[in-house]
Structure 1
Amino acid sequence: MASLEAIPDELSRLMKYFPETPVEERPEFHRAAKDFLERAAPKVVRQFSPMARVKWHLAASGRGDELVDLLHYERENPGAFSVRGLRRARIELPGVESSSLPSSVRNFNRSELPVRGKLLGLAWEDGKLQIKGYAYIPNVPSASGKRSLRVAVLRRQGSRSTLPLRLRTVEEPRATAEAKGAQHNYDWSGFEIAVDPSRLRVRGQWQPGTWRLGIGIPRPGGMSVGSITKNNAGAAGHSLTRTLDDGVRLVAGFDRNRLRLSVDVVPAEIIAQDADGDTLTVTLRSRVTAPAGKYPTALRIDHEPSGFATDLPLQQGETGADGWLRHTARLPLADLPVDGVRPGKAVKYRTLIVFADGTTRRATNGTDPVTGVHPLPEGRELAILTDGAGNFTPQVRTVQPVVDGVEWSADGELVLSGVYTGPAEQMKMVLRHTGRNEDRPLPVEFADGRFTARLRPDTMPTYEGTVPLRAGRWMPRLRRTTEWDHTRDLPVTVRPDLVGTLPLAHRGEHRTYTVERVDFDRIFVESGPVLGPELRGAYRQRLMRDVYTPEQRKLPLREAVLYNSFGGKQFSDSPRAVYEELKRRGTEVEHIAMVHDQQVVLPPGVRGVEWGSKEWYEALARSRYVVTNGGIREWFVRREGQVVVQTWHGTPLKRIGADLLGTPKANLAYIASLPQRSRQYSLFITPNAFTTPIMTNAFRLQCEVLEAGYPRNDVFHAPDRVKRAAAVREKLGIPADKKVVLYAPTWRDDQRYGGRRFKLDNRIDVEAAQRELGEDHVLLYRKHHKVLDSIPGAGQGFVYDVTYYPDIADLYLIADVMITDYSSVLFDFAHSGRPMLFLTYDLEHYRDTLRGFYFDFTSRAPGPLIKTSEDLVSAIRNIDAVSEEYKEKYAQFRVDFCEPSDGRAAARVVDRMLAVNDELRG
């Protein structure tokens, strides 16, 4: 809650890490908490969340042991508690006696037990508006079964009139899957409501009015009533209009994203439009028996950002067969301002009907939507658009593709076809992921003013085979072939009268792909999750950990190795090298690799298990060996007889783990958990003598440490490395006469979209670099796996986006020059002896503010530290001189950080891994 901002930052941090506070220092915190609550206004404290009230009460009361238990519970179950009570709802938390808390702390007010509802479906069926969704009170589980005491009502705005509605309770697993908490099941919070519009008449007549939908849910101490919020796409995310009678519409729309129904008795509306190249002619109709002052006199078209506005006088025509008067307005197309129109940026005009009394209303369509497209000079067009509310909306834009055909073939090919009259020979189509901001090519053909795009989402090509389309929302966009980024892309829309044909779904081999819409007519392809509803969400994953895993741990271990490489995003790095060594030896074990979102192509004989699936939990519980290059979850406990090998993934330059103590980046709870986590490892692999003591302290290791060298770096000594490098160049399509520059930077802690979604912080002027280097170089750009966004210039012949190449080790083999910054790739690539350049434009900030280094990088770096793109290009052009200048530093760097380096690291790891197993077996 916002009132938590009243708590001083340092006091909040002390609360967050109270379990890690030494016992002798806790009384001081208790005094500070008591002093804070005594000084804070009661109103401010009352606005704390229920959990926060309990925590600060315990702190101020000196109840440290209970507070420690509560904070541990909160870390495992953020935001989760139970609600109890008959006359008053109160909070129940494990380890805290509710009766020992003051009523002002334990009791809820009405706003603290809100209804959380989401609209999942909105459609007309059999003359009724069908409303589907879910609604529950967080931390109040939905009753199992179909019986429910929930109620639904429509309340007329500005009146006391209410209409009770019949609410049918249905099972809706998405409610539980989309809830953040892991403690409660909301499956039976689904509902279906049918609204008969005839009930919205007032005294038997249609009258303008707005009705708001409310859902009432029983809870301890009473009932909570709340609204239903819209979805973010599809019919449940857009207004829906239905003609109830001649000139009467029902609009199911949204106010602050909450569903409302509006009866609109239309005094005038648009029924046709046409253009002859110079003039747009719009035809309206109005009621002959219009109320006083509601006779239409003009059609106003305006664009507030530019200040453009014009009132087009209406010319009255004859009365139509429907008994309504006809009017026409004419707009010279040359009068429309087009400043600001560019690819991807349209100018949208608002249209208002002006009445004799000076009032206005949005111009809306009649029964049928009035839309169309008219050509304008200089590659522009006037599009007459509409939306779910039926608004008549002209737009001037660059000629844009419009889909008029969507079809799934029986074998899973999606075909999008439509109209495009622009410069087709200069265009390509891409799919852009809305979450990751990354592009995939979408094959498209142009002919005779039309386009046809084809997509097989179950078999997207990669360097080593095919994988399904990555989960998430993919927007088709049209882009000039010469563009270096997405900023001038053209959106792809569906013809407005066809929005009702969506969604259109296809069930692939492992997931569902759905064509849907957003912003009314923007079309997209949704690649659904791999996991079924019975496994999605925090609640069901907790059941897998707490119920299914213990059952699996009772079963015998299987002779299998489970590999985890970067959380299943790859099958690479040292785990891959360990696999290859076991295969070389012919060790009789099953090989299982964890994969994430099925985005990994595995070698023959390696079985993939999806992260979070039953197969993954089973493999984790029953595989005799686990080989991982990343941290493990705190809940994982190595079972007796199991061998867990932690290979990690880099020599540290920047500080990590417990070495961040004393800095704002230190996570005391994580650091406190490190000893327990490390006890789950049988072996911790380090690459060199420099790293061993650092890892031992930073990760508080309480396991065997093996200074074997990194198995992944055996590639530099592989007997087939030259042949392998040639194959890699061929696979990437790199011309034989081009030198390869590999750029592999790390991520920036302060450059993020939120959470662990980091931005691309590109500082290379790729256009300038191509001008200087493009004749005889290529630039391979590999993002860190935590970084989103597309690579500027990729696909233009100079820049290659190799982020999803399966293993960076292959790229080391073909790189003539490495560019990096503070990434641990510098320690790996040093094994090659080839030159390195360091683009360290933010060195002081990164070193002194973000992370800190383990040694003086400025004096020991085996290459120049470069600030600008211009200097970087110059260094590449003069790489021989740079190499000579840093020859001695490079040699010393290899002595310090590249030993052992003999191509036998994987053998040493496997030798010890198998020996540990023999020792455990006695």
Structure 2
Amino acid sequence: MRQVKKSIDRAMRLSWNALPKGLQANVRPLIPNQIKPATSPVGEPPENSLLSVIVPVYNVRKYIEKCLESILSQDYKNLEVIIVDDGSTDGSDQVVEAYMSRHKRVRMLRVNHAGNGTARNVGIQAAKGKYLTFVDSDDIVEPGAYTTMINQLKSSGSDFVSGAFYRQKGSKKWLPQMMSEIHGEDRIGIAVDDFPEILRDVFLWNKVFIREFWNQSVGSIPEGVLYEDQETIVRAFLRAGSFDVLQQPVYTWRIREDNSSITQQKGDLNDLIDRMRAALIVTELVEIEAKAETKRAWYVKSLGEDLRLYIDQVPQATDAYWDVLQSSVSQLYAKAEPDVFSLLPVADRVVVSLVSEDRRGDVENVLVSFRDNGRTFPVRAVNGVLYAEPIYAKELTPQLPLHLLQFHPVDTQLKTRLLSISWADTDTVEVRGAAYIQGLDASNHPYKTHLELLNTTTGDRLTVQATASPDRWIDQVSGDRWNSYAGCVFSATIKTSDLLSAAGKATPNGQEWSLLVSVDSAGISETDVIRVRDGEKLPFQLPTGKAGNRSRVVAQIDRTRGLRFRVIRYGSMASQVTVSGRTVKIRFEGSSNIPENIYVKSGEDELLSSVTDSPTGRVFAVELPVPPNGREVAWDVYGQSGTGKPHFVGWPGASSDPSGLPPVGGALSVFPTGYGYLRINVRSWRVTASDCTVNQDHSALVVTGTSAYLKAGNEMMLDLILATPRSYISPRKVSFTPGSEVFTAIFPLSSDRWGHGNATPETGHYKLYARTIDDNGTVRRHTVRAVGALAQSVPAEHLTDRLRIVLSAEDRERSFVVKVLAPYQLNERGPFAQQQLRTKHLSDSTEIDPEAVLFESFAGKSATDSVRAISDEIGRTRPDYKRYWTITDHSVSVPKGCTGILIYSADWYRILNTVGTLVNNNNFPHYFRKREGQVYVQTWHGTPLKKIGNHTPVANLSASYRRLMEREAKFWDLLIAQNEFAGETLPRAFGYLGNVVTTGYPRNDVLHDADSSNRRSKVRSALGLNEDTFAILYTPTWRDNVRTAQNRFDVVNYLDYEEIAEELGSRFRVLSRGHHNVAGQRKTADRSTYIDVTSYPEIADLYLAADLMITDYSSSMFDYCGTEKPILFLAPDIDQYENETRGFYFNFRDVAPGPLLSSTSEVIDAIKRLDSINSEYQERYSAFVAKYASLDDGKAAQRLLESFPHSPAHGGPVNQTA
């Protein structure tokens, strides 16, 4: 009987859901009680039945506390938290026991380690609640989640409810694209056949279930396997009479930064086996219980997004991994109906087909192409049918059947972007945006764009005229290297009076108008909202226009609901706000709509104002307290009359017009919010920037701002600094205007930091900080915000011949940021422009210049290494040669007589293709092909201890890089080796069969020439080292297995600089030299216990300056040993590095020319007894030098050039040998 009733109710709900939203409110009273809104009516208490929260715990001591706090702080209080400890060994249970002692709602059960399925089932059996939910112990439940979901179930009568979720890695938190696709709107009282795509939401933890439904229809969770939630959730979807899908995020799913969670083990064979087993079991369930549309949705999910991360592992996978993957995919592929494949995007369709056909080599070819060229592609029409033309298709044998490349609706992704929005007057807003179908180049497939405003409450529509406004900017940010969408930019003018009053009726407060964009191209029509705000063009908070008649329209944008215009009607509007000290006065003019009382509120704190009437209006005054500990406190302003509801007080002015408000930059700041409501922000001390210009000769940045105090305390302003995590720009001068709080700071845009010539700052996003110092000498940094004219004018760009400066105000706080960028021209920016340059220049047959040489070191990050020594020698012997250096930006100083060429610029592509000789210590990009007549000299960058190239463990080297180096080695005409060991090892590692010259390393010549002593003195002086300073050079290498949240190689630093300084004293100074692979990730700005020398141009200078080197497995040891100065090896992870991460070419423990240490304390002890260590290792050290550095005598570069009769030193090209 219950099921019959649910079927009737569901049919009524679906009929109601199908109505326009404007009619739903009128019809709702006729529908049974189940479809009431989720929020409880006034006076009716929310649902308060017991909720059982099941939390399996296994070795999550690092995360469990935040997880439990998020559960116990929920406003739904009637819950039991059942912790099932799954045999933790890291003390997680102790954390839980501490919570149990303080919270009666928490209890813990213990089981032997058996996995999440068993732990959850044990928890379910013990649960007593009417409602049931689950939490993973390293995740977070969003505030208010359980109240929202349980009230929703009470109002809908559904069997369970599913909310959206965030993902989080480190400090970054975001709403996944999938959430806008399947949780983009509320869907109440539906079944799986109404929305089959919901099968993508196969997670237990973002749902609350009716326990009765769970017991009757879902049952126990699979045990002893991973991905146990897949089958469980699909059972629930298939068997529910109805369920609810909510747009609101209720949960945060953490991605562990140490990659230790179950869902981060895609390359593990057991993980794959369990995932494929789950997929095949659920497929059988779907085949039995689902209808055709739902079956299709399951196969699309299983063969598409579920497989991507596993297929990505194929290049590094074992044969066993491939066999399991191939077998499982083949089974799914065979079961799927043919129409399933037209629902898979081209990339998934192609790769899954290749896997099913057991074409592993072609799968790897496609994956390498994805990494090198991206997943986008051009589209062409054949007999009226559109087909994708991905670049990898030409490389596959046999060729792909045409039907796999057909451009289906799933491939027609409409991409939208808001480029600008401005208010011409109170009634007029001007919008510029872009809308294009990815793959359809506007120059080949003309577009028609239509705009419409939709009232999301009433369903009313208004047509808006779109005008074509071509702009190449969109090609810089589209991410598509094959198609131009410059012709897809449009502009439009919207009359806000039309939105405030539609169909003769005033639009109520809070209603929204979404801007719908429809495009037609190549016979395809797509419609969507504008989802992306261009962060380079627009501030985080969109500008607001003036209000009229106590109302206005404000613009908002997010990725879920897109660009929309919200009607705001104000209960009252202030006319003037003044500030004096801590007192704010708010004036209202006229005789109507003036509140009787004004109060300000911050959280739970409220302050009532005093009131003074005048003939022209009323003035309210309120004194605000000074926030403690330098915090900023925001106070919202409310008005109220009689027994009426309080309302936010509005401000009539546009966000760009400060008239009537206090001057910007004060410690007490008054401003309108994005809705146009008054808000007061209070800090005891605030620093703001109101103007920033580049001076006339482009040599400096001039910042004007205010440093304002309510209460000075014991802290005073020291200076300002522009800083990234790894670099900083100190001001040349900071001055205050006499008698005021206004300052001017001048920041140089070039400097000679190391005595190697003027260079620009390193590229990066420099945030402006004010540095303060207190009575104890503690220095702190405070973010400086953009205000006033500066906030309204940014983003703003300044382009010089050496720099591109972009001024911006970022994040909600409008922090002032100076982006220092390489000075690329418009036709060099973005992937589309880059592909155009490659096509133009790298296929050019312009004559090769035999007297031109291009030098490159570490992809232009420096002008150093053996490449530098060869450049200097050619400059000495053949000054008529044109010497070019690849540089990433103009922070890289090039040798005298050379020309720096910006990598990826048009000039760089041209020179790469036309110089007679190429000298590199690493590799050129994947698209480089050496021309006939060019000579390529490879110096490499060190004698290898750790395995490299083809000898690197497969899992630690991407297929793209492996193939690049295999190809590069075929282009080399000459390989330079420091010693015989390297001369034998390097060719094997790279599969190189050409000439090898074992002549010592040119980069070490400066260590052994007659001027080395004078050079040491000059370098130490440039570094600020006194004669008696003991300089310790720290040169750790990078680790393949240590990566950032962005999957870049991360810094590994085992040396505690503060401990060194504390234990050894000020005479000892550490010089920290990061590996070039992690230089961009280092965090060294504003450090005082060491000197960051990562950006110092020449490492050999640092060898000279140092008195001791500390390293680990870096090739620097083979160079530094030639100085015969001591070396310590800080290598606490040597076992892992040798046996798992990389491996060594020889038994390092037996030959290391210094002690292997595992901690900073051991390093300190070794330094204190350095003389005895030198004696202890003297024999081993001498043997090490004899084997690896005996040819480093100061003349390697000279020998290298003289050893070839047709070398540049003698005026001719080297013969090709490869």
CA distance in 1, matches of 2:966, 2:1216: 25
Name the structure 1 match of 2:461: 162
Q: What is the distance in 1 between the residues matched to 2:640 and 2:425?
A: 36
User: Could you say which residue in structure 2 is the equivalent of 1:569?
Assistant: 861
Q: How does 1:289-304 map to 2 (within 5 A)?
A: 299-303=599-603
Does 2:899 correspond to 1:596?
Answer: no
Provide the C-alpha distance between the structure 1 equivalents of 2:641 and 2:1041, rounded to a whole number of angstroms: 54
The answer to whether residue 1060 in structure 2 is matched with residue 769 in structure 1 is: yes
In structure 2, the CA distance between the partners of 1:844 and 1:610, relative to structure 1 (3 Å rule), is same
2:824 alignment partner AA: L
Q: 1-side partners of 2:537 and 2:647: how far apart?
A: 27
**Residues 610-669 of structure 1: CA deviation (Å, up to 9, x unaligned):** 1112221222122111110012233322222221110010121222221124x4214345
Q: Which amino acid is the alignment partner of residue 1142 of structure 2?
A: R
Tell me the amino acid that sits aligned with residue 527 of structure 2: V
Residue by residue over 1:31-86, the C-alpha shift from the partner in whole angstroms, topping out at 9 and shown as x without a partner, is 44312435789999887543112221243246779767755654553212345679
- The 3 A distance-change label for structure 1 pair 328 and 164 is same
Q: CA RMSD in A?
A: 4.0
CA deviation after TM superposition for structure 1 residue 513, in Å? 2.3
Offset of residue 454 of structure 1:
0.8
1:116 equivalent to 2:415? Answer yes
**Structure 2 residue corresponding to 1:799, chosen from 1090, 1096, 1113:** 1090
For residues 360-759 of structure 1, what are the structure 2 equivalents within 5 Å? 362-367=648-653, 382-412=668-698, 413-421=700-708, 427-433=718-724, 437-447=726-736, 448=738, 449-457=741-749, 463-480=755-772, 488-496=780-788, 499-519=791-811, 521-551=814-844, 553-586=845-878, 588-661=880-953, 663-755=954-1046, 757-759=1048-1050
Task: Determine the structure 1 residue equivalent to 2:42.
Answer: none
Counting aligned pairs with the same residue, the percent is 24
**Preserved contact between residue 956 and residue 1041 of structure 2 (Cα < 8 Å):** no
Aligned partners of 2:897 and 2:1061: how far apart in 1? 42
- Aligned partners of 1:462 and 1:154: how far apart in 2? 59
CA deviation profile, 1:523-560 (whole Å, cap 9, x unmatched): 22233442212122222222222332222x34233311
Aligned to 1:223: 525
Larger helix proportion of the pair: 2
Q: Is the 8 A contact 1:479 1:486 kept in 2?
A: no
Tell me the amino acid that sits aligned with residue 408 of structure 2: F
| AA at the equivalent of 2:421 | L
How do 1:157-306 and structure 2 match up within 5 A? Answer: 157-200=456-499, 201-203=501-503, 206-207=506-507, 208=509, 209-220=511-522, 222-228=524-530, 229-232=532-535, 235-256=538-559, 258-273=562-577, 288=592, 299-303=599-603
SS in 1 for 2:826: coil
Change (3 A) 1:760 1:678: closer
The CA distance in 2 between the partners of 1:793 and 1:703, in whole Å, is 44
1:688 CA displacement = 1.6
Could you tell me whether the CA contact under 8 Å between 1:560 and 1:624 is conserved in 2? yes
Paired letter, 1:108: H
Per-residue deviation, 1:734? 1.7
Question: Does the 8 A contact of 1:144 with 1:188 survive in 2?
Answer: no
Task: Say if 2:671 and 2:679, in contact at 8 Å, map to a contact too.
Answer: yes
1:306 — aligned with what?
none
- The residue type equivalent to 1:263 in the other structure is V
SS at match of 1:534: helix
Shift of 1:714: 1.6
Give per-residue Cα distances to partners, 1:847-897, cap 9 Å, x unaligned.
334322223333322222222223323322332222222222222222232
State the shift of 1:511 in Å: 4.2
Using the TM superposition, give the Cα deviation of residue 583 of structure 1 relative to its aligned residue in structure 2, in angstroms: 2.5
Confirm or deny: 8 A CA contact 1:286 1:296 kept in the other structure: no
**1:395 positional shift:** 3.5
Q: Residues 25-36 of structure 1: matches in 2 within 5 Å? A: 31-36=327-332
Q: Is the 8 A contact 2:935 2:1213 kept in 1?
A: no
Q: 1:884 to 1:302 in 2, by over 3 A?
A: same
> How many residues are matched?
891
The range that moved more, 35-44 or 260-269, is 35-44
The answer (yes or no) to whether the contact 1:758–1:787 under 8 Å persists in 2 is: no
Give the residue type in structure 1 aligned to 2:933. Answer: G
> In structure 2, how many angstroms separate the alpha carbons of the residues matched to 1:483 and 1:907?
59
| Corresponding position of 1:151 | 450
Q: What does the per-residue CA deviation read over 1:17-38, in whole Å, with 9 as the maximum and x for residues that have no partner? A: 8799999999997544312435
Aligned partner of residue 1206 in structure 2, secondary structure: helix
- TM-aligned CA deviation for residue 97 of structure 1: 7.9
Change (3 A) 1:431 1:569: same
Q: Helix, strand or coil for the counterpart of 1:451?
A: strand
State the shift of 1:512 in Å: 3.8
Q: Quick one: which amino acid aligns to residue 401 of structure 1?
A: V
Q: TM-score, normalised by structure 1?
A: 0.86
Q: CA deviation at 1:795?
A: 6.1
What is the rounded CA distance, in whole Å, between the counterparts of 1:320 and 1:790 in structure 2? Answer: 64
Give, as a single letter, the amino acid of the residue that structure 2 aligns with 1:781.
S
Partner of 2:301: none
**Does structure 1 residue 818 correspond to structure 2 residue 1105?**
no
Distance in 2, Cα, partners of 1:63 & 1:286: 80
Say whether the 8 Å CA contact 1:115–1:224 is kept in structure 2.
yes
Distance 1:822 1:913 in 2: 33
Supply the distance in 2 between the matched residues of 1:817 and 1:365 (Cα, whole angstroms). 65
Contact 1:458 1:509 in 2 (8 A): no
Change in Cα spacing, 1:460 to 1:407, as seen in structure 2 (3 Å) is farther
CA shift digits 1:257-276 (9 cap, x unpaired): 73222221111345555566
Distance (whole Å) between structure 1 residues aligned to residue 868 and residue 760 of structure 2: 22
Task: Find the aligned partners of 2:448 and 2:1160 in 1 and give their Cα distance.
Answer: 66
Structure 1 unmatched ranges of 5 or more: 304-308
SS of structure 2 residue aligned to 1:690: helix
Does 118-127 or 729-738 show the bigger shift?
118-127
| Counterpart residue number, 2:351 | 55
SS in 2 for 1:788: helix
CA contact (8 A) 1:37 1:45 kept: no
State the one-letter code of the partner of 1:397. Answer: R
Aligned to 1:855: 1146
Q: Partner of 1:245: helix, strand, or coil?
A: coil
Distance 2:586 2:403 in 1: 69
Amino acid of the structure 2 residue aligned with 1:749: D
For 1:910, give the aligned amino acid: L
- Partners of 1:234 and 1:486 in 2: how far apart? 38
- Cα deviation for residue 605 of structure 1 reads 1.5
1:431: how far off? Answer: 0.7
Uncovered stretches (5+) of structure 2, i.e. residues with no partner: 1-176, 179-199, 203-226, 231-264, 273-307
Deviation at 1:278, TM superposition (A): 6.5
Which string of whole-angstrom CA distances, capped at 9 and with x for unpartnered residues, describes residues 225-281 of structure 1? 223221225645322111241312221222447322222111134555556657655
Q: Which amino acid in the other structure matches residue 415 of structure 1?
A: V
Output the amino acid matched with 2:704.
S
2:360, 2:1139 → 1: CA distance? 36
Residue 748 and residue 272 in structure 1: after superposition, are their counterparts in 2 closer, same or farther (change >3 A)? farther
Whose relative contact order is higher, 1 or 2, with alpha carbons under 8 Å and at least 6 apart?
A: 1
Instruction: Say which SS state the counterpart of residue 604 (structure 1) adopts.
Output: coil
Evaluate the alpha carbon distance shift between residue 851 and residue 714 of structure 1 in structure 2; reply closer, same or farther with a 3 A threshold.
Answer: same
Name the SS for the 1:634 alignment partner.
coil
